[in-house]
């Protein structure tokens, strides 16, 4: 039996309170929130739906009106959230629910609350098993409900057969660290040492406790990467790091002090290795922000000068917690960090945003794959020079590459250049030489017209490309999408793409080049080349001339931008066209002739680390491993000298300036003040293994080595 007291969401004390970040109310939609409140009170807390609502909002624990169960342990550390198990189309784990309830563990169930088609979601907390039914703490109070009335699940929620197996649609599993919570003993705060030794939380859910014991009162839980300041001597603590049954006294970023298990902290911050990249511009739900200045000091209540509520396409994020199922959708808790110049404080700052992103908008990140999507594909020798122009904007040789006579509608010509693997000037020259009339009507003599069907076929013929129309003379075609699901490519279309490119016309945003929905054929404004279908037809990789890059989209996005099955398009067989087949042979020959060369390192390193798996830039300084020396390596490369000499020169010059009382000439007033007030600050960064901030890099190196 799980013991707590009934609380009702429709109690007039809070029924009209807005729920989470939505316009809904606790009375109308607060079943899960109120069930959570009863569960928390059963494991030692004293809450109301109103207080839980406010605390979760502050912690970023809502997805609009939906509480996020995985956030609960970070607000109420005695609570352990284990999982949410959907049961609409699978077996309901009755045996496991029975065992949990018998052990006094909290279990929350999702049930159907109304006799309508589909599930009208409601949540209840299980009290105990009674025969073949469950006695409930129901957060929705009916007219005759009271403290002594027993509510049975299948008696009240009986719209799908009145059996547990058919009425339960999801199970939320919880546990607790301690069955009872006693008030923690009062401990006076101690001052933070002047020589701060920073530690970092190595795993999610690390508990900050009042005493150095697993029985110590749990003040809070912390996520991986949280920065802590050690309150003990560095020499003593270093021997305990990563060791079982050892404790370290620390202070967290909010100034709260306590003890953490030494096994789960580290002296070096390493972001999670679970990287994803954004398939498109994505919204960050319930974002939380942390900002710190160039010397690592947290800037409380800092007003951001740029928005992190959305992240651009191709942004690489780190996944803290994957596969958070919220109302049937899968989300990941991610973090993204960026250093930038803040015009408000007139200095460099770093902001970290943490929030929820839909898993459907993320893809696995692999270095080589992402680099492939970052490279410009077709050689455009005479692209326009304006940095804000699309990559497909260019000038042409016919008019002396006059910037005032640029061509903007070049997506068709670039698509052909992508397939034949030639630079665009060559493709245009061959088109002009073999079909001057059509060339001049579209590109030459000051004309800048988008290519239609007949012009596309003309330039394909000039290149000697055999093509197959998407729709033949009889109207036959291979449908793009599965008939029942426009989010997935048809098997026949996927199979054809294995041996052919597919050129088609679709709609893009003419400011960004991103694919957007076309509601009619007239809205299609851009030629692209589809290269691959991946993830069982749920993704496509294509060449987009606007950014002149390969891009990846969900098939649903691609299908919407085409506006359904296209009227115009061509299949072009891979490797069948001698133009690029022979070029590939030449490339292969070149590789064979060149052979394998031993890599040559550009900067001499006197003291590399012994681990062969380390990056080449990892070296030892004063016996300690340093990993963030990319700035120093860059200067060594320019000066054509070893890293050891660069570091020694740097230290000696800084020390010499301090002894002589000299100030570097030619520095701007604000950086000079910063430099002179702490002339060895940047070398201390090296000693601590910290990356250099841009102000230190440019000022010091420009002065010392100019």
Q: pLDDT (tens digit, 9 = 90+) per residue, 243-256?
A: 888 999 999 988 89
Closest CA to 521 of 479, 559, 563: 563
Are 167 and 153 contacting, i.e. CB atoms less than 8 angstroms apart?
yes
DSSP one-letter code for 343: T
Same domain, 436 and 425: yes
Same domain, 430 and 566: yes
pLDDT classification of 592: cutoffs 50, 70, 90:
very low
Ramachandran angles phi, psi of 487, nearest 5°: -90, -5
The pLDDT value given to residue 697? 42
- With respect to residue 395, please indicate whether it lies within any of the assigned structural domains: yes
The pLDDT value given to residue 12? 94
- Write down which residue in 529, 563, 597 finishes a domain: 597
What's the CATH number where 558 sits?
3.90.70.10
Radius of gyration of the chain, Cα coordinates, nearest whole angstrom: 32
pLDDT digits (tens, 9 = 90+) for 243-297: 888 999 999 988 899 999 999 999 887 654 577 888 778 899 888 888 888 777 7
- With respect to residue 642, please indicate whether it lies within any of the assigned structural domains: yes
Indicate the length of the chain as a whole number: 706
DSSP one-letter code for 315: -
Residue whose structure tokens are 């891979």: 574
Same domain, 302 and 261: no
- Write down which residue in 331, 365, 399 finishes a domain: 365
Q: Which element (helix H / strand E) includes 699?
A: helix 694-705
Same domain, 359 and 375: no
The pLDDT value given to residue 228? 93
pLDDT digits (tens, 9 = 90+) for 221-240: 988 888 899 999 998 899 99
Same domain, 357 and 294: yes
pLDDT classification of 594: cutoffs 50, 70, 90:
very low
Most confident segment among 51-60, 618-627, 653-662: 51-60
| Per-chain mean pLDDT for the chain | 81
What's the pTM value of the predicted model, to 2 decimals?
A: 0.49
- With respect to residue 67, please indicate whether it lies within any of the assigned structural domains: yes
The pLDDT value given to residue 688? 37
Q: CA dihedral in degrees (168, 174, 179, 181; nearest 10)?
A: -120
The pLDDT value given to residue 618? 79
Same domain, 292 and 332: yes
Higher pLDDT, 384 or 52: 52
Least confident of 133-137, 372-376, 386-390, 628-632: 372-376
The pLDDT value given to residue 657? 47
Distance CA 110, CA 125 (A): 9
For residue 610, pLDDT beyond 70 = no
Same domain, 374 and 419: yes
The pLDDT value given to residue 681? 35
For range 590-614, the mean pLDDT: 55
The pLDDT value given to residue 273? 54
Domain residues for the domain of 330 are 275-365
For residue 15, pLDDT beyond 90 = yes
The pLDDT value given to residue 565? 73
Half-sphere exposure in the Cβ direction for 365 (13 Å, CA)? 20
The pLDDT value given to residue 655? 58
Higher pLDDT, 424 or 607: 424
For residue 682, pLDDT beyond 60 = no
pLDDT digits (tens, 9 = 90+) for 406-415: 899 999 999 9
End-to-end Cα separation, the chain, in angstroms: 76
Least confident of 162-166, 344-348, 505-509, 618-622: 618-622
The pLDDT value given to residue 661? 52
Ramachandran angles phi, psi of 224, nearest 5°: -60, 140
- With respect to residue 12, please indicate whether it lies within any of the assigned structural domains: no
Same domain, 94 and 116: yes
For range 470-487, the mean pLDDT: 81
pLDDT digits (tens, 9 = 90+) for 424-465: 999 999 999 999 999 999 998 888 999 999 999 999 999 999
**Number of domains, the chain:** 5
Same domain, 386 and 472: yes
329: tokens are 């959708």
Same domain, 360 and 385: no
- Please list the residues that pair with 291 across neighbouring strands: 351
- Secondary structure (DSSP) of 397-463: GGGTT-GGG-B---HHHHHHHHHHT--HHHHHHHHHHH-HHHHHHHTSTT------HHHHHHHHHHT
Report how far apart, in Å, the C-alpha atoms of 400 and of each of 155, 247, 393, 404, 446 are.
84, 74, 15, 11, 12
Are 133 and 151 contacting, i.e. CB atoms less than 8 angstroms apart?
no
Same domain, 430 and 509: yes
Q: Which element (helix H / strand E) includes 552?
A: strand 549-554
β-pairing, 62-63 vs 66-67, is antiparallel
- Write down which residue in 214, 247, 266 finishes a domain: 266
Same domain, 428 and 500: yes
The pLDDT value given to residue 683? 35
pLDDT digits (tens, 9 = 90+) for 95-116: 999 999 999 999 999 998 876 6
């Amino acid at each position: 039996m799980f013991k707590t007291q009934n609380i009702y969401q429709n109690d007039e004390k809070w029924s009209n309170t807005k729920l989470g970040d939505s316009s809904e109310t606790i009375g109308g939609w607060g079943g899960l929130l109120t069930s959570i409140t009863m569960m928390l009170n059963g494991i030692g807390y004293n809450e109301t739906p109103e207080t839980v609502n406010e605390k979760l909002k502050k912690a970023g624990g809502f997805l609009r009106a939906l509480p996020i169960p995985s956030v609960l342990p970070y607000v109420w550390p005695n609570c352990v959230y284990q999982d949410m198990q959907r049961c609409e189309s699978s077996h309901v784990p009755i045996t496991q629910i029975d065992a949990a309830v018998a052990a006094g563990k909290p279990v929350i169930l999702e049930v159907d609350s109304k006799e309508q088609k589909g599930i009208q979601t409601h949540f209840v907390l299980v009290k105990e098993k009674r025969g073949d039914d469950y006695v409930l703490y129901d957060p929705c109070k009916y007219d005759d409900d009271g403290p002594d009335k027993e509510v049975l699940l299948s008696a009240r929620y009986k719209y799908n057969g009145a059996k547990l197996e058919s009425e339960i649609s999801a199970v939320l599993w919880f546990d607790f660290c301690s069955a009872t919570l006693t008030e923690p003993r009062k401990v006076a705060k101690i001052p933070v040492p002047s020589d701060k030794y920073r530690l970092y939380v190595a795993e999610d859910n690390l508990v900050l406790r009042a005493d150095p014991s697993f029985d110590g009162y749990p003040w809070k839980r912390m996520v991986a990467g949280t920065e802590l300041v050690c309150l003990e001597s560095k020499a003593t603590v270093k021997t305990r790091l990563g060791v079982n049954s050892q404790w370290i006294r620390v202070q967290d970023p909010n100034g709260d002090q306590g003890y953490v298990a030494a096994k789960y902290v580290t002296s070096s911050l390493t972001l999670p290795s679970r990287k994803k990249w954004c398939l498109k511009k994505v919204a960050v739900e319930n974002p939380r922000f942390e900002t710190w200045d160039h010397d690592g000091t947290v800037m409380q209540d800092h007003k951001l000068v740029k928005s992190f509520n959305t992240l651009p396409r191709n942004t690489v994020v780190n996944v803290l917690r994957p596969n958070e199922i919220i109302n049937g959708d899968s989300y990941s808790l991610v973090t993204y960090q960026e250093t930038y110049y803040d015009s408000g404080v007139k200095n460099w700052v770093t902001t970290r945003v943490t929030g929820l992103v839909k898993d459907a908008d993320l893809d696995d990140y692999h270095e080589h794959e992402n680099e492939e999507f970052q490279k410009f594909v077709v050689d455009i020798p005479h692209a326009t020079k304006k940095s804000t122009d699309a990559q497909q904007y260019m000038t042409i040789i016919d008019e002396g590459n006059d910037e005032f006579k640029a061509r903007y509608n070049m997506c068709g010509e670039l698509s052909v250049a992508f397939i034949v693997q030639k630079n665009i000037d060559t493709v245009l020259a061959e088109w002009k030489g073999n079909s001057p009339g059509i060339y001049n009507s579209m590109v030459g003599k000051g004309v800048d017209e988008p290519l239609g069907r007949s012009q596309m076929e003309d330039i394909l013929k000039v290149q000697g490309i055999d093509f197959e129309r998407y729709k033949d003379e009889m109207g036959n075609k291979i449908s793009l999408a599965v008939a029942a699901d426009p989010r997935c490519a048809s098997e026949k279309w996927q199979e054809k793409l294995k041996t052919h490119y597919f050129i088609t016309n679709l709609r893009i945003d003419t400011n960004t080049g991103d694919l957007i929905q076309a509601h009619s054929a007239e809205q299609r404004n851009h030629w692209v080349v589809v290269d691959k279908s991946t993830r069982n037809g749920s993704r496509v990789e294509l060449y987009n001339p606007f950014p002149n890059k390969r891009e990846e989209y969900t098939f649903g996005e691609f299908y919407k931008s085409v506006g359904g099955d296209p009227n115009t398009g061509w299949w072009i067989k891979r490797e069948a066209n001698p133009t690029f087949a022979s070029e590939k042979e030449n490339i292969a020959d070149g590789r064979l002739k060149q052979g394998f060369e031993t890599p040559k390192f550009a900067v001499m390193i006197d003291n590399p680390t012994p681990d062969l798996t380390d990056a080449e830039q990892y070296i030892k300084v004063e016996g300690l491993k340093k990993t963030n020396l990319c700035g120093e390596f860059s200067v060594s490369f320019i000066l054509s000298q070893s890293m050891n000499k660069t570091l020694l020169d740097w230290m000696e010059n800084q020390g010499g300036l301090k002894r002589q009382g000299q100030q570097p000439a030619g520095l701007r007033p604000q950086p000079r003040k910063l430099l002179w007030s702490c002339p060895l600050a940047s070398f201390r960064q090296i000693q601590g293994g910290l990356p250099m901030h841009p102000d230190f890099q440019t000022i010091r190196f420009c002065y010392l080595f100019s």
